[in-house]
Structure 1
Amino acid sequence: MEMMSMKTQIQHIWQEALLETTMGYHCLSLRFASPIALDEVLNKLERIAEKNGSSSSNFSRKQWTIPVQYTGKDLERVAKHTGLAQDELIALHQAPSYLLYFYGFMPGFMYLGGLDQQLFVPRKEQPDPMIEKGSVAIGGKQTGIYPMNSPGGWNVIGKTPVQLFDVNMDPPLKPQPGDKIKFEAISAENYQDIISQMEEKNYQLPYEKI
């Protein structure tokens, strides 16, 4: 969580001077609004890193539970590739608490770490022209959720009825980098019930502080 803490401190120090702070798995990119002395930036970054290294992080995090109906079009294909029964595959996919590293590829696409290595499946050689919004998929060593309809090469194993990305929300995405994600299998009936709740604006994505 040191990277998350550094990002927060950097944003506090430079505030309006920063146009963008983008985090990857092992890097943090800073984009400034105007030229700034490199030595000044490096010196401050070194002090932040030293401080983080000598004290425990108090980064506030949440664990979100995302409901999934595991009836994806590639579920059988993934089961065959892994040699697992479908119920074993689903149990393994639900088991971890995934770390949300960052959003990328498209607005709202989660890059989640922690997929069981038994579920590692190569991306498709021929991407699908359209994967539905809410599709939960596996691509290589990662799992993620398509936040909107789009082409994609990941293997779809399920779908969530929850709209995770909404430009009309503040913020547009509730889970934030550094948070954890748990998947929970639901039935077709539960799926429709959640959709009805969302249409009536009565649904809240469950979470707990960690």
Structure 2
Amino acid sequence: MTFPFDIALVWLDLAGVFFFAMSGSLLAARKQFDIVGSLLLASLVSLGGGVIRDIILNTTPAAFSNPAYLAPPLLATLLVYFLFSSVQRFTSLLILFDAGGLALFCITGTLKALSLGINPFSAVLLGVTTAVGGGLLRDITANEVPQLFDPKDIYALPAFAGAALTTVLWLTGSFNAITACVVAAVVFAFRVAAWRRSWHVPLAVRGWHRLGLDGAGRPRD
């Protein structure tokens, strides 16, 4: 990796850490955790995916080797502590921050894998793992239904799309700051639109229907 690319990857990673940390602290506030629990949940969701990525790649987790990775969870915890009383009515904030983290982490996870010589298909899978891993840990820890497994929502598909686009751009030599922003915007928009419009994919068995929905996807009476 060249030095400029290395620096850009770190900054993208830190931005993703902050977005995910905000989602963790907002969930902690909603669940009425104390400030220590808020910090721990913010750290778990924001650093968990990157730690999983780096362990798979057999590298020292960035969260343990670079102290800068500890700043975003602390900042997010303090922001929510002082501001949550005035923003708690905006229930979409958690989803928006989570979507931002998802959009950035599917890119950085894929890029790090590709830069270390991992084959493209495995790089895509690792990008998705990086993106969804922290959110999965957050939801399980907070005793929430993991968004990854919610049959009435789409969570992993935007990450797959972002990781695949990143891989194609990398292999064609088209990946740069502009295309990275485009990919992040596409993933973010995909995730938010899926949440707002209640998009979903077919269940594991054809003919099964979601609880509370009829065959056309409308709420049952």
Could you say whether these structures have the same fold, taking a TM-score greater than 0.5 normalized by the shorter chain as the test?
no
Higher relative contact order (CA 8 A, sep 6+): 1
Q: Which has the larger radius of gyration?
A: 1
The structure with the largest strand share of the pair is 1
Q: TM-score, normalised by structure 2?
A: 0.25
TM-score relative to the length of structure 1: 0.26
